[in-house]
Amino acid sequence: MADPRGGFYGRVLADLLDGGLIRRDMSVLVAAGGQADRKVLLAAEFDDVTISNLDEGEAGAGLEPYGWRYEDAESLSLPDESVDVAVVSAGLHHCRSPHRALLELYRVARVAVVALESRDSALLRLGARLGAVDDYELGAVAAHGLAAGGVANTSTPNYVYRWTEREVAKTVASFAPHARHRLRFFREFELPDVLLDSVRGPRGLALRALRPAVGLVTRALPSQANLFAFVIEKPNLPRDLQPWLRLDDGRPVPDERVVGARYRIER
């Protein structure tokens, strides 16, 4: 069966490669990763990849030629800016704090963070109210024999945290307010075949029947798409420095001239 998120994942990477933001020889850390990440990154011909996860079972899952390491995405053991690119695909919503995990990826990346998650939208919220979409990921726990696959890889189904463009911008601006961040967003719609095949009864029939109509809606209104990727470029200083700051020995400090033009500075 085709994996729509995998196809979307590959297209996002291809766009970033074509645009020159990332290169195949850059070091890549994948958080909450596994075989799906290996498949996409291998197809994209990345060389230097380390796949990390809380699930030690992934270590023996045949991730070669890539490396593996045990890591909690919310508390990475790596130093600041120790890899070129940090990637997560459908992993943030398995964390107890998706924002904390995203900012950990931001901390360790030198060039960019690439995240693929679900997008919050009126259409998905309607689907949840109608029972067509899960707000808690029972399916992942079922796929792991009720032993794992939930929040922090436990057997407790995780809440499916969905993002918006504005939330990404606010999160990174709060963490690194000295910089004007360059953000890129990608959106597509697809219902996974694995979901359609695994959901039983009237709900499964309804999902299969509605698939074409929902696809038309999301093509007309991309903001309602369920596949969502966002890319956070790490700031290049002084180019991306906020206009009210200047660099002093490489450290952002208030620019007295700019601030003083707007406010009286207390002495």
Single-letter amino acid code for the residue at 82: S
> Roughly what angle, to the nearest 10 degrees, separates helices 4-19 and 35-43?
40
> Are both 218 and 247 inside the same structural domain?
no
Mean pLDDT, consecutive 10-residue segments, the chain of 267 residues? Answer: 71 98 99 96 98 85 92 98 98 98 99 97 82 87 92 96 98 99 92 48 58 53 75 98 98 98 95
Burial class (CB within 10 angstroms; exposed 0-12, middle 13-18, buried 19+) of 49: buried
Distances (CA, A) of 64 to 56, 60, 68, 198: 15, 10, 9, 29
Alpha carbon of residue 25 to chain centroid:
21
> Are both 180 and 267 inside the same structural domain?
no
> Are both 107 and 79 inside the same structural domain?
yes
Element (DSSP H or E) covering residue 5? helix 4-19
Q: Can you tell me the distance from the alpha carbon of 227 to that of 65, in angstroms, rounded to the nearest whole number? A: 28
Alpha carbon of residue 35 to chain centroid:
17
> Are both 65 and 39 inside the same structural domain?
yes
Q: Can you tell me the distance from the alpha carbon of 50 to that of 58, in angstroms, rounded to the nearest whole number? A: 12
Please tell me the total count of domains within the chain: 2
Say which residues have a Cβ less than 8 Å from residue 169's Cβ, sequence separation at least 6. Answer: 181, 183
> Are both 211 and 260 inside the same structural domain?
no
Say which residue the tokens 């504005």 belong to. Answer: 166
CATH number of the domain that residue 59 is part of: 3.40.50.150
Nearest to 171 by CA among 104, 218, 241: 104
Q: For residue 52, what pLDDT is reported? A: 97
Residues spanned by the domain of 196: 4-236
**Phi and psi at residue 213, to the nearest 5°:** -65, -45
Q: Can you tell me the distance from the alpha carbon of 267 to that of 264, in angstroms, rounded to the nearest whole number? A: 9
> Are both 204 and 264 inside the same structural domain?
no
> Are both 145 and 264 inside the same structural domain?
no
Q: Which two tokens stand for residue 42?
A: 């291998």
> Are both 155 and 263 inside the same structural domain?
no
DSSP string, 139-204: HHHHHTTTSSSSGGGSSSPPB---B-HHHHHHHHHHH-TTB--EEEEEEE----HHHHHH--HHHH
Provide the residue count of the chain: 267
> Are both 254 and 211 inside the same structural domain?
no
Q: For residue 184, what pLDDT is reported? A: 98
Q: For residue 193, what pLDDT is reported? A: 45
pLDDT digits (tens, 9 = 90+) for 54-103: 988 777 678 999 999 999 999 999 999 999 999 999 999 999 999 999 99
> Are both 169 and 258 inside the same structural domain?
no
Coil, strand, or helix at residue 248? Answer: strand
> Are both 246 and 132 inside the same structural domain?
no
> Are both 205 and 88 inside the same structural domain?
yes
